[in-house]
Amino acid sequence: MDYISTRDSSRTPFKFTDILLSGLAPDGGLYMPVEYPRIDDATLTTWRGLLAEHGYAALAAEILKLYIDDIPHDDIEAIAARAYRTPVFETEDIVPVTRVDEHLLIAHLSDGPTAAFKDMAMQLLGELFEYELGRRDETINILGATSGDTGSSAEYAMRGRSGIRVFMLTPAGRMTPFQQAQMFGLDDPNIFNVALDGVFDDCQDIVKAVNADADFKREYRIGAVNSINWARLLAQTVYYISTYLRATESNDQKLSFSVPTGNFGDICAGHIARQMGLPIDRLIVATNENDVLNDFFTTGKYIPRSAAETLATSSPSMDISKASNFERFIFDVLDRDAATTAELFGIKVREGGFALDDDASRTAVRDTFGFLSGKSTHADRVETIRETYENFDIVVDPHTADGVKVARQWQDQVDTPIVVLETALPVKFSETIVEAIGKEPVTPERFKGIMDADRFVTDLPNDAEKVEEFISSSVQNSEK
């Protein structure tokens, strides 16, 4: 399997372990496989038995092998086994699936060490990074941006690992107290938290700017763990497949998925699984008040908003107005036209946005690729949390509530059951939970006392040069 950039018309090929460590492509594009491997009825039948008998890690290894040909298969199996195991995850299923009612199911993605779905990819990424760096005798400095859960998931996956430092940019004051405590409470010598004076999109822009500084990136060996890293999306395709196998009895059944999203990574993995041949009917994009993606899927217009226009909401991990992984999807919609993709995302987005609102494009997005969308507000979240608790004795976090609300919006028009992908455990968003149901969410034993820990974080201005200076001085000090 070779990989190409979404912006490279020459289709220069790369191998998996090269793109694993490099993040963005040199031309600013995102890496994609040259083609999606196809899974057929026989493959699904084999995987159904494999999951039932040997579990999630064994299934993950088989899916990874389809995309990785420069790591021995035995090593891939060992990597997956280390990533997906108890007690790192709370349950043997790793991703349990529960039925809410005849229309709705929930895939539980938050049983990992930081109680967020980001653990599903980050635990694998940590194992892959350490394996490949050790094989090359190299080090890496990971630069990432987080609107809430990516940061803690990355840091818990990378803390203490040989040859790896993590520099994580967060929007100052934009995360919940629990999210801040998870990240800023870490006092590991290879973890560096930065609170940036801005919103998540500013943090993401600085990550891209530093990656675009070729000399700095090369000298300081900058890598990425945000969902711009292909390996994260690859890891996320696994839980779509495992959820399908757990929620169906035969391969002629279809499911739809409602996915809370801001950066389009989680649902992009669903798009990949659907392109591989997984029997997915609809992929439903659930946004909050920052509804740039909902606007696109309803009007065909993609108009990213400025930092000043990006609202602070009660589902903060979705407070994003420029969705990085959206480029991967549009690349496929455009039949992999790299020149047009480069123009749209390299030029038009900077000029204010673009439109794919002709009938052919809108039909392709809705019918060929199966996308629908909807929007959820704070009032919707509170009401959905309350109703789900009162009617089914289930407490969902605000982001998952966005997914449930939009799923309910579409359930009478979609012919298949809808799986909502859980985003996080409710304990991370206690203020909204209390507003909705009148009491604090349950705090898992592993998080007792987390709010009382000291904080380790550096405040910086919204300035790529200042971030580079901080990385440089931190690396030099740690090498002394």
In angstroms, the Cα distances linking 62 to 37, 242, 260 are 12, 12, 27
Beta bridge mates, 259? 285
C-alpha neighbours within 13 Å on the C-beta side of residue 114: 29
Domain boundaries along the sequence of the chain? 97-114+230-437
Residues 6+ positions from 19 with CB-CB distance below 8 Å: 3, 25, 31, 230, 231
Catalytic residues, by residue number, are 118
Contacts (Cβ under 8 Å, ≥6 apart) of 61: 73, 76, 77, 79, 80, 81
Separation CA 293–CA 299 (nearest Å): 10
Q: Residue 430: CB partners within 8 Å, gap ≥ 6?
A: 176, 178, 440, 441
H or E stretch covering 286 = strand 280-287
CB–CB of 196/203 below 8 Å?
yes
Give, for all 480 residues of the chain, the pLDDT tens digit: 999 999 999 999 999 999 998 778 889 899 999 999 999 999 999 999 999 999 999 999 999 999 999 999 999 999 999 999 999 999 999 999 999 999 999 999 999 999 999 999 999 999 999 999 999 999 999 998 887 778 888 899 999 998 999 999 999 988 888 888 888 989 999 999 999 998 888 998 999 899 889 899 989 999 878 778 899 999 999 999 999 999 999 999 999 999 999 889 999 999 999 999 999 999 999 999 999 999 999 999 999 998 889 898 999 889 888 898 999 999 999 999 999 999 999 999 999 999 999 999 999 999 999 999 999 999 999 999 999 999 999 999 999 999 999 999 999 999 999 999 999 999 989 999 999 999 999 988 888 888 888 899 999 999 999 999 999 999 988 876
Secondary structure string (H, E, C) spanning 243-270: HHHHHCCCCCCCEEEEEECCCCHHHHHH
Tokens of 352: 């204010």
CATH domain 97-114+230-437 topology: Rossmann fold (3.40.50)
Bridge partners for 354 per DSSP:
302
* Phi, psi (degrees; rounded to nearest 5) at 97: -125, 130
